[in-house]
Structure 1
Amino acid sequence: MTEDDHPTKLIMTSLAELESELIDFRRDLHAHPELGFAEQRTTTKIIERLVAAGLSPHRLPSGTGLVCDLVPAGMEGRPMIGLRADIDALPITDIKDVPYRSENPGVCHACGHDVHTSVVLGTGLVLAGLLDRMTKPVRLIFQPAEELVPGGAPATIEAGVLDGLDEVYAMHCDPRTSVGRIALTTGPITSALDRILVRLSGPGGHTSRPQLTCDLVAALAQVAVQAPLLLSRRVDPRGGSSLVWGRINAGTTANAIPAVGELEGTVRSLQLSGWREAQQQLPELIRQIAEPYGAAVEVSMTEGVPPTVNDAAAVRRLTEAAAAVLGDQAVGITEQSLGGEDFSWMLQQVPGAMARLGVRSPHADPAEVVDLHQAGFDPDEGAIATGVSVFSRLALGHD
């Protein structure tokens, strides 16, 4: 093999021709963000570019999202590598003063899905010119609605995107990691997530006579304070379950006890066992807390996602690919996040791994970095080339 035929050289040559286009593509997505299951323009743009490269993408049955297979001659029917990107945005108003600021009011790519999409698209474009060098067929998966609960992954899986795969990979922007680097861990890299809604009701009444009614606000307050603490005593602490409220609402005036009140929040668990325990324990626990006040209790839990659990062999393969194109020093270790990620559903069925993709500019002060899901989030676009090079090297195999 000559130096010019080396896989890394081939990838970097192709990437040098594509990088500015991929940055422009990302900026176009950023300026035109779309919410989950409404990503019509985004889907069309991806399809058009893949078709222009001579590929044959297929829109998912949900109407948004797509898949595209790259199968070298003679590899038909062989197990495939899946590369997944999420394509939806968040219901957040973009506050950045940049030319590619969101043109859709109240919608913004504040989690980096425009970067994820550009990485997987770019990988497909690189591989389209290197089919004869691929060691396995590759499936590009552009998944809708990751930000919804439940997310778009279950519907995407139901559409058959995992059929024929024996491994699947994803990347997620990480503002704590410098651009040009990725970070990995074996085992759980994200946490389980559910949403919980508690609705208490009673007859209402005058605040001067609480003994004649149900003191609903007091009951809500007790549930808000006691449920997170008691949960930690009801489930195995090794499961790492936590309950945090994000909304509490009751009443309209100071001298009337309301008839209805609500609490809403999230339950997160580090381990699959803790997730299932919390789901089983919380409804009855909340009823027991509210019972002395005489309130009627409704507890609704919306199942979100299990932990994203990275397979050890897949982490090793992704590490080797990253080291081959970025160097050994560019691969770090990350800690488990309490965030939820519906790529976890795919890893429940097919082994694989998610990597943290560094998007922090080299000269940025870590204390001033804008985090994910903030209106000013704007990743260093050099991360696109990093992600494309790693995924492309993964598909071409290692020396």
Structure 2
Amino acid sequence: MLNQLLQKLDEKKERMIEIRRYLHQHPELSFKEEKTAQYIADFYKDKDVNIRTNVGGYGVVVTIKGGLPGKTVALRADFDGLPIMEEADVPFKSKNPGVMHACGHDGHTAYLMILAEALFEMKDQLKGNVVILHQPAEETPPGGAMAMIEDGCLEGVDNVFGIHLMSLADTGEVYYRAGEMQAGRSYFKVKIQGKGGHGSMPHTSNDSIVAASHFVVAAQTIVSRRINPFDMATVTIGSFDGKGSFNIIKDSVELEGDVRTMSSDIRATVEKEFKRILAGLAQEFDITYDLIYSHDYPVLVNDNDMTGLVVKGIKKAQIPEIKAVIETPPASGSEDFAYYLQKIPGSFFYVGAKPANGHVYPHHHPKFEINEDSLIIAAKAMAAVVAEYFGQE
């Protein structure tokens, strides 16, 4: 079965690239992917599969019922773009100004559409069912995964797998990790309220910029002095809105940022210390503050057994395009695939996509690009996982 499936993917490789390039030219932002969702749904409309649209928003769920009894496995790909003006020098550049596929989601969607088509063509041989999860809004909290789950996308599903293409990793390499793989994320916004006044009479005012500046420095001690050096945490203040007139003491300042942690315990510690510092700041500078502090994507935790299945299946398949299967350290980025893994066991793994031309840029960069050879690699890697899952070689 696997050899037949891999052969079908080889035959469909060029169409996979065509789909990716079409999606790259027509990116849409999170929660606004109406046309992308319709394009995906249209791809399946003439196939004998069960299609659900508008799942948790613009999600598309396709169920391929196998001809033989067995478990049900879900495969997920996200399809939203980012608010970035593309600078990559490619002939299929984004046609939507200020919106770009700068994270590889176009590639995720293209490989999974073609893999789904190949699986459908072999459905009578499948010892179980395959659910295809085309998910919107991975980039923007609260994300699309949670809403799709609430709308029943995992009903009857036993396990789930997903892939992310990685532009900084060598094409031909696959990366896995059991247990904690990607960080959880929290968001904060603080408004520090002082008392404005004239710069010539600072004693009659309460300078919110001075108070906020002290907070910026103090917040860095959360990681350096409150978190075990062997544990992972980051506190980033990405916005300090203190613009005003040169001779006016600001009445208020707003700060925004995010927190990344690799466990729920450390997440709680960072939040506790963050609020403790703010409370002390209010006493020290006689200011007040309003705080929004919310948790969104949880820590992504891969199931040990399902990750072992991924490694075993890919290695056993001996796919010629795959040069190495490598255990990777945890990543500090966040990913809403974590919500699926909170519900059912599964595994999320990476496929290298470093461009061959040497023009390598990280995800979310305006010149981001992937090696399109990674598409067939992703499709074949996931095909090997499905074959191993169903016990079909």
Deviations 1:179-211 (A, max 9, x none): 222111111111011111111012201222222
Deviation at 1:231, TM superposition (A): 4.9
Q: What are the superposed Cα offsets for residues 23-74 of structure 1, whole Å, 9 maximum, x if unpaired? A: 1001110000001111111111111112233323211344412101111134
Is the 8 Å Cα contact of residues 73 and 160 (structure 2) preserved in structure 1?
yes
Q: Contact (CA 8 Å) 2:167, 2:369: kept in 1 or not?
A: no
* Inter-CA distance 306–373: structure 2 relative to 1 (3 Å threshold): same
1:200 maps to 2:192:
yes
**Structure 1 segment 52-131 matched on structure 2, within 5 A:** 52-75=46-69, 79-131=71-123
- Match of residue 17 from structure 1: 11
1:333 Cα deviation (Å)? Answer: 1.7
Displacement, 1:79? 3.4
Does the alignment pair 1:297 with 2:289? Answer: yes
Report how far residue 385 of structure 1 moved: 0.7
Tell me, in whole angstroms, the C-alpha distance in 1 between the residues paired with 2:223 and 2:329: 24
The whole-number CA distance in structure 2 between the counterparts of 1:302 and 1:99 is 41
State whether residues 135 and 395 of structure 1, in contact with CA within 8 Å, keep that contact through their aligned partners in structure 2.
Answer: no
Q: CA RMSD in A?
A: 1.8
Q: How far apart, in 2, do the equivalents of 1:277 and 1:230 lie?
A: 9
- Residue 20 (structure 2) aligned to one of 26, 32, 36: 26
Residue pair 1:231, 1:282 contacting (<8 A) in 2 also: no
The Cα of 1:80 is off from its aligned counterpart by 1.1
Q: Look up the match of 1:326.
A: 319
The runs of 5 or more residues in structure 2 that have no matched partner are none
Judging changes above 3 Å, is the alpha-carbon distance between structure 1 residues 128 and 240 closer, same or farther for their aligned structure 2 residues?
same
Aligned to 1:35: 29
Cα distance in 1 for partners of 2:357, 2:175 equals 18
The answer (yes or no) to whether the contact 1:227–1:286 under 8 Å persists in 2 is no
Divergent runs of 4+, >4 A = 235-239
- 1:147 and 1:174 map into 2 onto residues whose CA distance is 15
Q: Secondary structure at the match of 1:81?
A: strand
- TM score, norm. by length of structure 2: 0.94
* Secondary structure at 2:124 match in 1: helix
Asked if the contact 1:174/1:359 (under 8 Å) is kept, the reply is yes
Q: Secondary structure at the match of 1:326?
A: coil
Pairing partner for 1:163 from 155, 162, 177: 155
**1:374 aligned residue:** 365
| 1:120 to 1:279, Cα distance in 2 relative to 1, 3 A | farther
Deviation at 1:290, TM superposition (A): 3.9
Gaps of 5+ in 1: 1-6
Question: Contact 1:322/1:330 (CA < 8 Å) preserved in 2?
Answer: no
Matches of 2:214 and 2:282, distance apart in 1: 7
8 Å CA contact 1:166, 1:350 repeated in 2? yes
Q: CA deviation at 1:303?
A: 1.8
Distance 2:157 2:273 in 1: 36
| Residues 176 and 135 of structure 1: CA distance in aligned 2, closer, same or farther (over 3 Å) | farther
Q: Partners of 1:230 and 1:259 in 2: how far apart?
A: 27
Residue 128 of structure 2 is aligned with which of 128, 136, 139? Answer: 136
**Range that drifts further, 130-139 or 94-103:** 130-139
Determine whether 1:241 maps to 2:230. no
In 1, distance between residues paired with 2:298 and 2:130? 26
When the two structures are aligned, how many residues end up with a matched partner? 388
Stretch of structure 1 that moved more, 319-328 or 340-349: 319-328
Cα distance, 1:334–1:207 mapped onto 2, change above 3 Å = same
Normalized against structure 1, the TM-score is what?
A: 0.92
